[in-house]
Structure 1
Amino acid sequence: MQNVKGTYDFFGKEQALRKKVQSTLQEVFELYDFDGMESTVLNELELLTSKYAGGDEILKEMYQLSDQGKRSLGLRYDLTIPFAKVIALNPGIEFPYKRYEIGKVFRDGPVKRGRLREFLQCDADIVGTKGPEAEAELMQLAVEVFRRLDIPVLIRWNNRRFLGEVLEAVGVRPEDTQSVMLTLDKIAKIGKEEVVKELGSKGLQDEAIRGIGELITMADPTFEQIADRYGIGDSQGALEVSDLQKLMERLGLDAVCRFDPYLSRGLSFYTGTVYEIFDASGSFGSSLGAGGRYDAIIGQLVGREDVDYPTVGISFGMESIMEMLQTRPIEAAGACVTVIPIGETNPESLKAAAELRASGIRTSLDTSKRKLKKSLASAASNRIRYVVLIGEDEAAAGKVRLKDMDEMTEAVVALEEAIHQVFRRLC
């Protein structure tokens, strides 16, 4: 018996750490006034494979199935399309609308470090804001999340509309734009020479290949250098880049956000700004999060292709974040108190544990019936400071024996007094 490849069970300290990361994300999402949402895991295949969804690359990795009614279904491969569906089905939602969702998604793709087939995504999206302030707010949110997790990050960003304008300027045909973007997006992984080779295998015109080759040989070009070189400084995409760049400079985000003219992201639904979050030290290669603007999906889903629902989102990769934290572990919270019954005092011990918990104190109950010495050693190894011992004498007197494992002291006191002492020192 074994797990399906690319899936894992989480428990114990690892699960406690995962919950801590999720709690951090949820706290920041709600601090930024995003409302929680749960969308469906199971969706109609037609929705997930529509031309408005993730594109050919992602559809190759989608899990497909059918139900007893022979309906064609699929497991969600991200949280974006199900979210767009919710907006499309609920026209009464007031805009701007900000939501977050933390849920599992599924992709039948290659398994590697930080990339699984069943994994948790943590998304935040804003619908109804056209200007760059939506992108800037999500970047601020991301910086705050990783500050709390003590992970220095670099956010690489670009604009797909601007990149399309650049490719047009170097001779790429409109029908080849999406394919070229996917290849350029690999430049950091496979290098410039391999990018040129891959482009050559796609049947591009020689002029376009030469133009792209000249573009990618520019050494860390700025937005202004590229816009000037190709004479597209007044294009729509260029203006969008310029507006966001100026806003980020005023907010101080330019210290952690770097313009990357080759970034496009794999999903085809992005219409403007795109961004990816990376470990600033460069020691971890996979992205820790990503997102961008997708203005067209919702309108297309409701049959109004002439109407844009301006939308920007960001997704945090739980598995990648966990991989980062394995090298710099965060101490997971455990019980503050353990109650140990001695003799036939299970009812009194259960009652004491219930009253401790009712006071907001995380409490474990040792029902192992092992020797007291071993129970105390277990509490010490789990760094539990307080032990409440209840023997038959304590039970008869309506008392408990409170043991402080740090100070190596103990006293027989009323349960109310024990709760007061623990709460005062730990809470």
Structure 2
Amino acid sequence: MQNVKGTCDYFGREQAIRQKVRSTLTELFELYDFESMDTALLNELELLTSKYAGGDEILREMYQLTDQGGRRLGLRYDLTIPFAKVIALNPGIEFPYKRYEIGKVFRDGPVKKGRLREFLQCDADVVGIAGPQGEAELMQLAAEAFRRLGIPVILKWNNRRFLGEILAAAGVPPQEHLSVMLTLDKLAKIGSAGVLAELKEKGLTPDAVCSLTELLDMEALPFEELAEKYKLAEQPGALEVAALQRLIAGVGLAAPCVFDPFLSRGLSFYTGTVYEIFDASGAYASSLGGGGRYDAIIGKLTGREDIEYPTVGISFGMESIMALLGERPVREEASGVLVIPVGEYMPQALTAAAALRAAGIRTAVDTGRRRLKKTLAAANAKGIRYVVLIGDSEAADGRLRLKDMPQQSEELVTVDAAIARIAGWLHGSP
């Protein structure tokens, strides 16, 4: 037996770390007042292949199937289109509406480190906020998430509308904007020479190629200087960039949030701000997450393209985060309590464990079949702080022997006293 290529089973320490990442993100989503959502894995193929969906590359990688009724279906390849479907089908939802979802998605693409065919996405989206507040709040959330995970990051951001304004000023015809954006987005991978070679193959005018060559040399220029050079300060995209930049500076995110005028992910999808998150050390090249503003999709799915639903979202890639944490492991949470029956006292051990669990304390019960010395050594190796022993004297007295493993001390206590001591330790009391 073997796993299907691009799929994995998770257990033990790796699953514990995945749960740590997931719980960190869930806690933050809820702190930021996002509501949990769970969308369908199976969707109509027509929805997933619509021109408002994920672009040609993703559609080629989509898993397609037919049910017994002959209906053409597909497995979701992201969490955004199913979310947009929910909003389109439920016109009574009150805006602004904030949702998060953590769930599996499927893409039949190349398999490499940090990229599988069955993988977990962790998304947060907000509908109904047209200004830069939505983007700034999601950037705050991302910065805090990676701070809690102990991963220094750089969040690169841009505005698709502003980049289009630059290209228009450089003499690139509108029908070539998306193609040129794709090429400019490759700068980090193929360098200036490679980008210029691709641009020259697109049939652009010599003046346009010359302007784009100058633009490549200005990659590191601040937004203000770019806007001034191309006389764009009052254009809609430039105004959006300026508004978001002020908010980023105002909330203290100017250092990790870096403006990148060539970033242009999701060309068939995003309408304004786009951003992508990277390991600040550069040791891990793939993206750890990303997102942006997509104001047009929900209205188009409803068939009312004249109605705009201002929407912005972010997605965290669990597999990329785990690939990085494999090299920089996070601290595992302390283990719970182990109850050990010494002799024929399993009923008393299970009763004590039930009381501890009722108090919210994670508790395991040993089989009592190994030598006590080996059981205690194993508990110590796992980092278990407290062990509860129940033998002849403890059972006769109706109490428990509570052993503090690091302190190598023990005392005879009631169940209530044991719960109070352990709960105090779990909540940080001395």
Shared fold (TM-score, shorter chain, > 0.5): yes
Counterpart of 2:157 in structure 1 is 157
| Contact 1:38–1:101, Cα closer than 8 Å, also in 2 | yes
* Higher alpha-carbon deviation: 268-277 or 402-411: 402-411
- 2:265 aligned with 1:291, yes or no? no
Q: Match of 1:290, as an amino acid?
A: G
Specify the SS of the correspondent of 2:326. helix
Q: Match of 1:339, as an amino acid?
A: V
Sort the Cα spacing of 1:380 and 1:282 in 2 relative to 1 into closer, same or farther, 3 A: same
Specify the SS of the correspondent of 1:125. strand
For residues 241 and 205 of structure 1, the distance between their equivalents in structure 2, rounded to whole angstroms, comes to 28
Question: Equivalences for 1:271-286 in 2 at 5 Å?
Answer: 271-286=271-286
For residues 418 and 35 of structure 1, the distance between their equivalents in structure 2, rounded to whole angstroms, comes to 37
Structure 1 gap segments, 5+ residues each: none
For residues 259 and 137 of structure 2, the distance between their equivalents in structure 1, rounded to whole angstroms, comes to 17
Q: Match of 2:198, as an amino acid?
A: E
Counterpart of 2:134 in structure 1 is 134
For residues 207 and 57 of structure 1, the distance between their equivalents in structure 2, rounded to whole angstroms, comes to 32
Counterpart of 2:348 in structure 1 is 348
For residues 79 and 62 of structure 1, the distance between their equivalents in structure 2, rounded to whole angstroms, comes to 13
Question: Equivalences for 1:37-48 in 2 at 5 Å?
Answer: 37-48=37-48
Counterpart of 1:12 in structure 2 is 12
* 1:356-406, Cα deviation, whole Å (9 max, x unpaired): 111121111112622222211110110112111223453344233222212
Counterpart of 1:110 in structure 2 is 110
Q: Match of 1:237, as an amino acid?
A: G
Q: How many residues align?
A: 427
Q: Match of 2:238, as an amino acid?
A: A
For residues 334 and 363 of structure 1, the distance between their equivalents in structure 2, rounded to whole angstroms, comes to 12
- 2:410 aligned with 1:407, yes or no? no
Question: Equivalences for 1:166-315 in 2 at 5 Å?
Answer: 166-315=166-315
For residues 74 and 356 of structure 2, the distance between their equivalents in structure 1, rounded to whole angstroms, comes to 46
* 1:320-344, Cα deviation, whole Å (9 max, x unpaired): 2222222332222253210112232
For residues 93 and 196 of structure 1, the distance between their equivalents in structure 2, rounded to whole angstroms, comes to 47
Tell me the CA shift for residue 302 of structure 1: 0.7
* Higher alpha-carbon deviation: 185-194 or 45-54: 185-194
* 1:294-341, Cα deviation, whole Å (9 max, x unpaired): 000000011110110000111111122222222332222253210112
For residues 267 and 379 of structure 1, the distance between their equivalents in structure 2, rounded to whole angstroms, comes to 53
* 1:106-158, Cα deviation, whole Å (9 max, x unpaired): 12222222222221111111111111111111111112212222222211111
Give identity over the alignment, percent. Answer: 67
Specify the SS of the correspondent of 1:191. helix
Specify the SS of the correspondent of 1:253. coil
Q: Match of 2:390, as an amino acid?
A: I
Counterpart of 2:316 in structure 1 is 316
For residues 272 and 324 of structure 1, the distance between their equivalents in structure 2, rounded to whole angstroms, comes to 29
Q: Match of 2:81, as an amino acid?
A: I
Cα RMSD after superposing both structures = 1.9
Counterpart of 2:420 in structure 1 is 420
* Higher alpha-carbon deviation: 64-73 or 84-93: 64-73
For residues 118 and 357 of structure 1, the distance between their equivalents in structure 2, rounded to whole angstroms, comes to 34
* 1:271-314, Cα deviation, whole Å (9 max, x unpaired): 00101111222222112211100000000011110110000111
* Higher alpha-carbon deviation: 137-146 or 387-396: 387-396
For residues 121 and 299 of structure 1, the distance between their equivalents in structure 2, rounded to whole angstroms, comes to 24
Tell me the CA shift for residue 205 of structure 1: 4.8
Counterpart of 2:81 in structure 1 is 81
Specify the SS of the correspondent of 1:254. coil
| Contact 1:54–1:267, Cα closer than 8 Å, also in 2 | no
| Contact 1:98–1:124, Cα closer than 8 Å, also in 2 | yes
Counterpart of 1:380 in structure 2 is 380
| Contact 1:163–1:262, Cα closer than 8 Å, also in 2 | yes
For residues 399 and 233 of structure 1, the distance between their equivalents in structure 2, rounded to whole angstroms, comes to 76
Structure 2 gap segments, 5+ residues each: none
| Contact 1:57–1:266, Cα closer than 8 Å, also in 2 | no
- 2:359 aligned with 1:359, yes or no? yes
| Contact 1:341–1:366, Cα closer than 8 Å, also in 2 | yes
| Contact 1:182–1:266, Cα closer than 8 Å, also in 2 | no
Sort the Cα spacing of 1:126 and 1:159 in 2 relative to 1 into closer, same or farther, 3 A: same
Question: Equivalences for 1:325-344 in 2 at 5 Å?
Answer: 325-344=325-344
* Higher alpha-carbon deviation: 386-395 or 110-119: 386-395
For residues 38 and 328 of structure 1, the distance between their equivalents in structure 2, rounded to whole angstroms, comes to 31
* Higher alpha-carbon deviation: 209-218 or 88-97: 209-218
Tell me the CA shift for residue 211 of structure 1: 3.2
For residues 389 and 113 of structure 1, the distance between their equivalents in structure 2, rounded to whole angstroms, comes to 45
Tell me the CA shift for residue 219 of structure 1: 4.5
Q: What TM-score comes out, normalization by structure 1 length?
A: 0.95
* Higher alpha-carbon deviation: 353-362 or 168-177: 168-177
Q: Match of 1:402, as an amino acid?
A: L
Tell me the CA shift for residue 66 of structure 1: 1.7
For residues 227 and 159 of structure 1, the distance between their equivalents in structure 2, rounded to whole angstroms, comes to 12
For residues 344 and 138 of structure 1, the distance between their equivalents in structure 2, rounded to whole angstroms, comes to 56
For residues 112 and 187 of structure 1, the distance between their equivalents in structure 2, rounded to whole angstroms, comes to 22
Q: What TM-score comes out, normalization by structure 2 length?
A: 0.94
| Contact 1:62–1:107, Cα closer than 8 Å, also in 2 | yes
